[in-house]
Structures are given as structure tokens and as C-alpha cells.
Structure 1
Amino acid sequence: MDKKLTLSFNKSVIESAKEYAKSNNISLSKLIESYLASLGKHKRN
């Protein structure tokens, strides 16, 4: 089940992320979700 999360970022970061997501045919939400999921794959010992 998806849940909402509100985040605050610098305007230029948001615009860059939106452009990246659009150019890769992915939603901004899925882009951020993928990034956060990848952090769990790189756990430190």
C-alpha cells in the first residue's frame, strides 16, 4: 500500500529531478522511491 510523504527541497533540485524523471519516463515519486529503496541495498556494517 502506498502512503503519502511530504518533503521539502530547494526549487532547483526539484526542477532538475522533474526534468530527469520526465526524460526517463518515470514519475518523480517512483524516481525518489527507487532511490530510497536503493539505500537499503547498501547497508553499512
Structure 2
Amino acid sequence: MNEYLQSIINRDPAAKSKLGVILTYPGVKAVLFHKLPFFFCGKI
């Protein structure tokens, strides 16, 4: 997830921080909420 967030920050001049990207980008929220259950179940 860190690499994904960093790639967005590198490509988008409006993105300043990882927290800002998480809170304002709907696509990032979709990926995050998709990966959370796998994290809690220990599949990642």
C-alpha cells in the first residue's frame, strides 16, 4: 500500500501527503477497503 500511495504522490503534483491521498482520492479508498479484510484475515 505504501508503494501505491507513493506512486500517486510522485505522479500528481496536487498530492502532498499519504494521508491527504487516502482521504481525498476515491480510488484509493476503494483499494484500501478491498485490502482491509484480507489483512485482518491474514491472507496478505
TM (norm. structure 1) is: 0.34
Larger RCO, structures 1/2 (Cα 8 Å, 6+ apart): 2
Choose between structure 1 and 2: higher helix proportion: 2
TM (norm. structure 2) is: 0.34
